[in-house]
Structure 1
Amino acid sequence: MATNSIKLSLIFLLTIFITSKAILHDQLKETNMTLYFQDWSGGPNATVLQITGHQDHGILSFAKFGSVFVTDDPITQAFDKNSAEIARAQGIYVTSALDGKISHVLISIIFTNNEYKGSTLEIQGASPQFERVREVAIVGGTGKFRLARGYATFETIHFDLAIHYVVIQCNVTILHY
């Protein structure tokens, strides 16, 4: 009799747990966005600077193991650098593979536009920096993206070495509350 009562209690608790997980899952929202990082690696208004590692003639050495970079890129709503800024990408990149092909990325996307102002997305992970499309995890967020998880893809869509200017398209898929 006591065994049946224990089994019934366990089944009841398991049902409550499964039901509560289903209710929470139904509350998750999915948000998809395309963002454009406006990256300047030289000149008086540089938005990415190399902190460690050797630079050759002012060119950043992204492929040298141990190189560390800090960034504060404006993020715009369209490809054009003159389009409205909606966020900033602030963080660090570290060339973490001996052969220089992988960069470890720690980036906070800090929204400045009206819709998401003050909210953040936290991006972290290994990025195969010379691949056409790189995928990195979204590991958290704040504000409207509280408890975010998901992924971001990065693709360099414009590169002008003469003026040290790059546009990186970032597509994000986020699950959040």
Structure 2
Amino acid sequence: MAIKLYLFLSLAIFTFSNADLGLLKLKLREIQMTVYFHDYSGGPNATVVEITGLTNGLLSFTKFGAIFCTDDPITEGFEESSTQIARAQGIYVTSALDGSNTHVLISIVFINNEYKGSTLEIQGTSAQFEQVREVAVVGGTGNFRLARGYATFETLSYDRASHYALIQCNITVLHY
């Protein structure tokens, strides 16, 4: 009986040791990037729409419980004509009674050659009235498997007449 237990434990240790060595072979990488969201909250080509309540054409970002769906183009430069590298697809929910916070669930879906098909998953509370808002990067796919990190959002400009906002997003992630 003792020999069988010894053989079993030896096999288990050998198996787990090899599994650990496999994990050690993965190289942890850090990537920092700055991208630009082009957010159109009105007009015929809107990339953000409210999916709850009556809006009469005007979005109410500070109304508690308001839910928005987004599919913003993301470019490598701040100009609208800059090369599009991704889409920001997901939802926002105004989650504070006073409208100060929005819960963000966004997938950055890369369409450029370098990261095509990869995603970064962003989630967290975004303080709407702050100049810079920070949320967590909670995962990713493709080139960003097992991603963890953070992203900051800063609205660089907003044109009330055209309902266009330019948002700078700085992303720092660790991934394998």
> What band does the TM-score fall into relative to the shorter chain?
0.7 to 0.9
Distance 1:99 1:38 in 2: 26
1:157 alignment counterpart = 156
Kept in 2, the 8 Å contact 1:141–1:147? The answer is: yes
Deviations, residues 119-149 of structure 1 (Å, cap 9, x unaligned): 0000001110111000000000000000000
Name the SS for the 2:143 alignment partner: helix
2:32 alignment counterpart = 32
Q: Which runs of 5+ in 2 are unaligned?
A: 1-12
Instruction: Kindly provide the amino acid, as one letter, of the partner of residue 168 in structure 2.
Output: Q
Distance 2:71 2:169 in 1: 15
Q: Which runs of 4+ in 1 moved over 3 A?
A: none
Deviations, residues 28-79 of structure 1 (Å, cap 9, x unaligned): 1000000100000011100000111343x52210001000000000000000
1:167 alignment counterpart = 166
Distance 1:27 1:76 in 2: 28
The total of aligned residue pairs comes to 161
Kept in 2, the 8 Å contact 1:65–1:98? The answer is: yes
Distance 2:65 2:77 in 1: 33
Distance 2:98 2:43 in 1: 28
When normalised by structure 1's length, the TM-score is 0.85
1:110 alignment counterpart = 109
Q: Which runs of 5+ in 1 are unaligned?
A: 1-12
Distance 2:108 2:38 in 1: 13
Instruction: Kindly provide the amino acid, as one letter, of the partner of residue 149 in structure 1.
Output: R
Distance 2:52 2:94 in 1: 10
When normalised by structure 2's length, the TM-score is 0.85
Instruction: Kindly provide the amino acid, as one letter, of the partner of residue 45 in structure 1.
Output: N
2:43 alignment counterpart = 43
Deviations, residues 59-117 of structure 1 (Å, cap 9, x unaligned): 21000100000000000000001111000000000000111100000000000000000
